[in-house]
Amino acid sequence: MRILSFVAAAVFATTLTAAPLELDRAATAMSGMEAGFTHRFTAKGFKTAQVESGSVVFGALPMMRWSYARPEEKLFVFDGTSSWFYVPADKQVTVGRLTEARRRELPFLVLGDAAARDRAFAVREQSRGGSVVTTLQPRDANALVRSVTVTIAPSTHLISRIEYTDREGNQTSFDFSGYHRRAAPAELFRFDPPAGVQVIRAD
């Protein structure tokens, strides 16, 4: 699964909240931050995860720039309306449009939009082990993403982990570390393909 998958299944005995304030604070706190990440993908029926790592820069969500370094160099860029997926080794970039349906498939894209988030998910939030854990259950029984779980450090309001299971039973998680401030101008969240790179439109 090459398209960014963000987020995972866990059920908590909590009360449904109308306004998950810590999740809203996290969306604000992450703007203008850079962090290292480890991405794990475990296909249904397998015990061993595929592991990738790199760094990510967050603008005002859903503006993001994901730079994968290991084991393969690749880049995902989101400016809020469009996405770019670039693999240097393939000399190819895939350009897509971020519709509301597409955002629901990529939880990070919906976290910064409370209205869209609440239309797509039922949200529960609780304190657990010194963290705030938020679960998002899709309202649509046929949704691609199942039971998103977001773990937030309340002292910084930054997301430390996001995980999910998709409707096929595959599991995906992202762990974040080393947050620090950095400049995040709008042009960082656009991508101009290098000369000689094939451009594929996914719209």
Question: What's the chain's average pLDDT?
Answer: 88
**In this predicted model, what pLDDT tens digit does every residue of 117-132 receive, in sequence order?**
888 899 999 999 999 9
- Chain center to CA of 187: 20
Whether residue 200 is predicted with pLDDT greater than 50 in this model: the reply is yes
pLDDT of residue 54: 99
Mean pLDDT, to the nearest integer, of 78-88?
A: 95
Q: For the whole model, what pTM was predicted?
A: 0.86
pLDDT of residue 102: 78
C-alpha closest to that of 192 among 32, 82, 34: 82
User: What tokens appear for 202 in the block?
Assistant: 């996914």
pLDDT of residue 6: 39
pLDDT of residue 108: 80
> Would you place residue 15 in the very low, low, confident or very high pLDDT band (cuts 50, 70, 90)?
very low
Domain ranges of the chain: 21-198
Q: Indicate the range of 25-34, 94-103, 142-151, 162-171 predicted with least confidence.
A: 94-103
Give the integer Cα–Cα distance in Å for 138 and 119.
Answer: 9
Whether residue 13 is predicted with pLDDT greater than 50 in this model: the reply is no
pLDDT of residue 113: 85
Whether residue 142 is predicted with pLDDT greater than 60 in this model: the reply is yes
Give the integer Cα–Cα distance in Å for 57 and 64.
Answer: 6
The amino acid at residue 132 is V
Q: What does DSSP say about strands 82-87 and 145-153: parallel, antiparallel, or unpaired?
A: unpaired
The segment with the largest mean pLDDT, out of 6-10, 55-59, 109-113, is: 55-59
DSSP annotation string for 33-90: EEEEEEEEEE-TT-SSPEEEEEEEEE-STT-EEEEEEESS-EEEEE-SSEEEEEEGGG
Q: What is the CATH number of domain 21-198?
A: 2.50.20.10
Mean pLDDT, to the nearest integer, of 127-150?
A: 92
**In this predicted model, what pLDDT tens digit does every residue of 52-82 receive, in sequence order?**
999 999 999 889 999 999 999 999 999 989 9
